[in-house]
């Protein structure tokens, strides 16, 4: 049987379809849509930078449109989600607890996230923290003295914070809820009283197989070398698994005209393939993406699939930044056309576009200007802004809409 051949634009559209970014939301979002979006992506990376809305909220906004950010915390507190190390620190569907449990049971393999030396040296103090939570209920790091941010992998955490993180990584504590985005820890056995490691936890081998197979669905269209990064797996050789999945009809080989290498398509997108082959599958979404959105978090994949060379510069000294502190990739109808450095001035009710750098060769026609005006306005309104202020942006956008516009 001949292998389908599709264009690069169609490949991008298939990936965006898998990620829930093919078409704008057709209805007002509800709390259940937050969990459904995370299930569709597989996981939602956590980051605390808040010059605009924090990353997990941004990722959901890109897919759901206007929604209430507190629905994410409600889903966590309602045990529909849990937190653990996946791609990095992530929210995950609670049904995937079995998928990550092997990491908790063998935390020595978690690198900087777990120090066996620390655990052994402070075993009595760690046990005291665990006993305190068992006797007195959930606990926050803020219930101890103030912490100080430092420069090493563990930061310069106060000992109690590090004890909590040690117990969290070892799976003895879970995040019961978040208060003002701060973790509240409780006993895993209290939050999941029916959990049984012997009966429910997957072996590392089986969990890795499931993670790789799931990643095929989350990416939609992929190369073998793209799979490992999604769950940050090491020493991955997926050739045998891909052969099995192909025999089972889970994936099928496909070629992308402008790209080299062997590509595969997940069967969940089979109905969209005829449109893709005819080059009629198009994304109609315009939105600003989080730097930690699955579409761009694998920088090599973003470069190969979207020709978008992206790097987050918030950890780069200010004088050496090329684009800005926390630039948001701009998705416009299937293309990553540039990056916006933005800031939400919450007291002033103003959403500021500090700079907008277009990719080489991108032109600002009337339709694109309108798309961006609407996309920026939607995001500003969701942030609670009453107006948008443009600074260093393409002249066509400023000429059409002015330096300041009101958000209705």
Please provide the DSSP assignment of 232-272 as one string: T-SS--THHHHHHHHHTTSEEEEEETTS-S-EEEEGGGGGG
3-state secondary structure of 211: helix
Of the chain, the end-to-end C-alpha distance in Å amounts to 54
d(C-alpha 117, C-alpha 233), whole Å: 24
d(C-alpha 294, C-alpha 20), whole Å: 11
d(C-alpha 307, C-alpha 251), whole Å: 25
d(C-alpha 382, C-alpha 299), whole Å: 28
What are 37's two structure tokens? 């979006």
Q: Is 42 left (phi over 0), alpha (psi -120 to 50) or beta?
A: left
| β-strands 182-187, 44-45 pairing | unpaired
Instruction: Report the run of H or E that residue 295 belongs to, with start and end.
Output: none
What are 88's two structure tokens? 């990095």
Half-sphere exposure of 187 (CA within 13 A, CB side): 15
Alpha helices by DSSP H, listed for 53-176, are 55-64, 70-77, 97-105, 116-121, 123-136, 159-169
Residue with tokens 């997957």: 202
- Crossing angle of helices 123-136 and 159-169, in 10° steps, is 80
What the chain holds in terms of domains, given with CATH numbers, is 1-114+170-282 (no CATH), 311-406 (3.40.630)
Contact between 46 and 56 (Cβ < 8 Å)? yes
3-state secondary structure of 334: coil
Contact between 272 and 14 (Cβ < 8 Å)? yes
d(C-alpha 310, C-alpha 364), whole Å: 21
pLDDT score of 151:
47
- In the DSSP assignment, the letter for residue 289 is P
pTM: 0.95
Secondary structure percentages of the chain, helix, strand, coil, to 5? 45, 20, 35
Half-sphere exposure of 311 (CA within 13 A, CB side): 7
pLDDT score of 157:
54
Contact between 308 and 296 (Cβ < 8 Å)? yes
Residues of the chain under the 50 pLDDT cut:
146-156
For residue 277, how far is the Cα from the chain centroid? 29
d(C-alpha 92, C-alpha 89), whole Å: 10
pLDDT score of 147:
47
d(C-alpha 312, C-alpha 332), whole Å: 20
Contact between 259 and 304 (Cβ < 8 Å)? yes
Q: In Å, what is the CA distance from 218 to each residue of 63, 229, 321?
A: 14, 12, 32
- In the DSSP assignment, the letter for residue 22 is S
């Amino acid at each position: 049987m001949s292998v389908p051949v599709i264009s690069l634009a169609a490949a991008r559209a298939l990936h965006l379809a898998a990620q829930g970014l093919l078409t704008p939301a057709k209805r007002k979002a509800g709390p259940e849509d937050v969990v459904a979006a995370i299930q569709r992506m597989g996981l939602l990376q956590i980051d605390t930078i808040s010059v605009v809305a924090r990353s997990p909220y941004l990722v959901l906004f890109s897919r759901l449109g206007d929604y209430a950010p507190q629905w994410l915390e409600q889903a966590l507190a309602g045990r529909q989600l849990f937190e653990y190390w996946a791609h990095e620190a992530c929210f995950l569907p609670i049904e995937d607890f079995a998928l990550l449990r092997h990491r908790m049971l063998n935390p020595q393999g978690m690198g900087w996230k777990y120090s066996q030396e620390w655990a052994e040296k402070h075993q009595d103090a760690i046990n005291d923290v665990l006993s305190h939570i068992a006797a007195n209920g959930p606990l926050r790091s803020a219930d101890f003295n103030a912490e100080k941010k430092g420069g090493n992998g563990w930061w310069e955490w106060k000992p109690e914070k590090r004890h909590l993180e040690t117990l969290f990584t070892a799976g003895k504590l879970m995040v019961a809820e978040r208060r003002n985005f701060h973790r509240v820890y409780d006993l895993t056995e209290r939050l999941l009283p029916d959990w049984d490691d012997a009966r429910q936890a997957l072996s590392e081998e089986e969990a890795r197989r499931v993670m790789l197979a799931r990643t095929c669905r989350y990416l939609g269209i992929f190369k073998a070398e793209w799979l490992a990064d999604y769950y940050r797996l090491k020493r991955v050789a997926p050739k045998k698994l891909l052969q099995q999945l192909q025999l089972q009809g889970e994936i099928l080989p496909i070629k992308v005209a402008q790209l080299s290498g062997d590509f595969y398509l997940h069967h969940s997108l089979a109905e969209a393939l005829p449109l893709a082959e005819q080059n009629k599958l198009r994304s109609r979404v315009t939105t600003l993406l989080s730097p930690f959105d699955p579409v761009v978090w694998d920088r090599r994949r973003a470069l190969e699939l979207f020709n978008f060379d992206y790097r987050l510069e918030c950890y780069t000294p200010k004088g050496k930044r090329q684009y800005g502190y926390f630039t948001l990739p701009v998705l416009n109808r299937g293309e990553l056309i540039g990056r916006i450095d933005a800031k939400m001035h919450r007291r002033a009710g103003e959403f500021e576009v500090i700079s907008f750098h277009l990719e080489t060769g991108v032109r600002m026609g009337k339709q694109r200007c309108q798309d961006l005006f609407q996309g920026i306005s939607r995001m500003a309104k969701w942030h609670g802004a009453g107006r948008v202020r443009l600074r260093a942006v393409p002249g066509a956008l400023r000429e059409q809409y002015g330096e300041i516009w009101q958000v209705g």
